[in-house]
Amino acid sequence: DFVKPGGAGANEWACRHSAAASEPASRDHKRVEWIENPGLRYGNAYAVLNFVVVNPTLGGSLMTKGMPSLNCAWGDYSGSLKLNSGRSQWGVTGDFKLTNKIGSYREYHETFTKPDGESVTRTETPLGGYNSDK
């Protein structure tokens, strides 16, 4: 059991057991809070176990993603860098889409018939013949 459903000593039990369960990452935790009757904010939950963590004073993260096609120059690529120092955080994100000027367009014709029998036709025609990054 990780969360005791309440009663006498529930707060002490939650703090003692939560701290033991999170021992390896305890340097990242400021405190553990047990909130009884948290209200609508948590979807009418009976109680909430809240881990308050320390914001890192120095560090960052790097994330990259690539989704290439196997047989032609077509793909979606992105990258993100986040750096933090003290209470300041900076982030940069970039996206790139490779399309290889593949001819791609859509022509569309649609007809609506009103209850009185009158018809309205809508036609969609392409402005260009290439799929672009725009």
pTM beyond 0.75: the answer is no
- pLDDT on residue 102: 65
Q: Which two tokens stand for residue 16?
A: 């003692």
Residue 102 identity: I
- pLDDT on residue 63: 94
- pLDDT on residue 83: 92
Question: Mean pLDDT of successive 10-residue segments in the chain (134 residues)?
Answer: 44 50 60 85 83 80 89 85 88 87 76 94 77 49
- pLDDT on residue 110: 94
Half-sphere exposure of 86 (CA within 13 A, CB side): 1
- pLDDT on residue 26: 61
Q: Select from 97, 114, 106, 96 the least CA-distant residue to 130.
A: 106
